[in-house]
A and B are shown apart, each in its own frame.
Chain A
Amino acid sequence: MPLPQWIIVGLRSLVILGALFALELMVRLEWINPLFLARPTSWVGAFRALMAEGELPKLAWITLSEIGLTFLVGGAAGLLLGTLLYRFRRVGEASSSLLGAMFASPIVLLYPIFLVIFGRNRMAIMAQAMVTGIIPIILQTRNSFLHVNETLIDVGRVLNLTRRQMFFHIMLPAAAPMIFTGIRLGLIYMLLSIIAIEYIVGVGGLGNLVSDAYFRLNTDELYVGVITVGLLSLIFYTFLTRAQRWVQRM
């Protein structure tokens, strides 16, 4: 008989705590150079200091606002383009495989082009993230409309719905759960791109914190940055996965 979930959660917490304890011990015993690996207990102190100075919330806000802005523009453009590619079927068919091939390639490495165009600033970061995140939104939007149940479309025809009514009352609600899958993927890609390029270029929010801490050899701050990025990604991922389940149940 499988163990109840609370025991599993307890065991999982033990594994995580055990790993943290092992790290603490290894650094304290100087098996690992403390210059390279900060003790988990010192992460807490650095985290508190960065919170008290207001530095961490400020940097997190910068990263989140970049994600939000990129998503607003990229999400809207992706939905529009996906709908147009569905509407103009042949162009859609042809461009989907091109977009797919582009998505399979390492688009995020194009960031130097955006640095050339916009300069070393947040605009370049957001433009690159938009290009990375928009493709799954376009592809999934088009696919979602293509897979709308035929019976629903026939019902719309029987009711003599206008183009507009057909789109807003039949197509859009039926395609929404699949469209959301694309939005979720797009958002995750945008988050990953933004943090990665912030770190590489050394501009913006949390990614920049890590880059800066490395060059100042501030081990504690670096680990706080890495953990905050990890937690942010985790919150984002969990929230979007739950939201998707909710949309699919609707």
Chain B
Amino acid sequence: MGAADVTSDVRAGGGVAGRPHRELRAGTIQVLIVLGLLLLWESVSRSGLFFERLFPSPVAVTLAAWRHLQQGIVLPHLATSAMEISLGLLIGGTLGTLMGMALGSRPLFGRVCEPIFMYCAPVPKIIIYPISLWFLGIGPASKVAQSTLASFFPILISTAAAIRQVKPVHIDVARLLGAKGFALYRKVYLPAMLGHVLVGLRLGMGVAIISSLMAETKLAEKGLGFLTIEYYNHFRITEMYSILLIIFTGAVLLNWIFYWAERRLLRYRGSDAGQNAFF
């Protein structure tokens, strides 16, 4: 790599913060990459190199996805998955926020118990699924438990971190003005930790989706994950791809909505929270 190349790369911000026309070019390249990949997929599918039922064309997959949406085949499954994910996120989010607030604001409790949660956080939660199945059965309750467990940890960790970054001077001033107990949380902690909590919520949502849908692919009666694996088991590969397409489009869209909401809610503070979103 030439020194001049390297220097110009870095000085130009490495293309990270380019001028508008550069951004346009990057956008064009993005479209070209996506189109190129789709074209490659279509040609491989038509070439006969692979068994066509194993490698359906993107056109066939998109049409199948459209048919599923139009005929409402996917809707009851979508509703079940959405219910499991939102309920899990609600319970996991509430518990994670409460526990994170306790860990962040009580130094002794935080020092003793936070490492225990940190040790449990990287364990693949799906491995607990058989226990959820035993206790809650193969219905939606076991999937709600999985998404609760998955979303609990990122929300807890970000809430505890958020509480700790609240400036002590703000707490002291609030106390001087007579704030205590819940009022202290509402007036000082919550506004100050909003950015972190929203990032935690977005991360929590991501893992709740994964946990719930993965659990559905293992053992379930309904849901998008269940439908995907049903199609796989019946060798209806085009339909399987179409459900995956619906899942991925929905997940990316949801992530974008959360990211947009974060930016909007935090705009008044000029906060950089949420900058690590992948958009």
Residues in A lying within 8 Å of B, measured CB to CB: 2-3, 8, 11-12, 15-16, 35-37, 86-87, 89-95, 97-98, 100-101, 103-106, 108-113, 115-117, 145-148, 150, 153-154, 156-157, 160-161, 163, 166-167, 171, 188, 191-192, 195-196, 199-200, 207, 210-211, 213-214, 222, 225-226, 229-230, 233-234, 236-237
Contact = CB atoms under 8 A, between A and B. Distances in A.
A112 B209 contact: no
A15 B33 contact: no
Contact of B123 (A100, A108, A229): A229
Nearest 9 Cβ contacts at the A-B interface: A100-B278, A146-B14, A94-B29, A214-B130, A93-B15, A157-B3, A36-B134, A104-B278, A94-B30
Task: Determine which residue in B2, B115, B278 has the highest number of CB atoms from chain A within 10 A of its CB, and name it.
Answer: B278
B19 interface: no
B214 A105 contact: no
Contact of B127 (A94, A103, A226, A236): A226
A118 to B, nearest CB: 11
Contacts of A3: 108, 111
Given A117-B54, A153-B6, A210-B130, A90 B26 contact: yes
Contact of A109 (B11, B27, B111, B210): B210
Contact of B217 (A103, A112, A188): A112
Interface stretch (B95-103, B153-161, B163-171, B243-251): B243-251
Nearest to B255: A104
B255 A109 contact: no
Nearest to B30: A94
Nearest to B53: A116
Nearest to B210: A106
A231 B211 CA distance: 20
A242 to B, nearest CB: 14
A93 B21 CA distance: 13
Contacts of A111: 217
Contacts of A94: 26-27, 29-30, 33
B199 interface: no
B16 interface: yes
Contacts of B119: 234, 237
B240 interface: yes
Contacts of A160: 3
B69 interface: no
B127 A157 contact: no
Contact of A106 (B213, B229, B232): B213
Given A226-B127, A230-B127, 7 more contacts: A94-B30, A95-B29, A95-B33, A115-B232, A157-B3, A195-B124, A236-B122
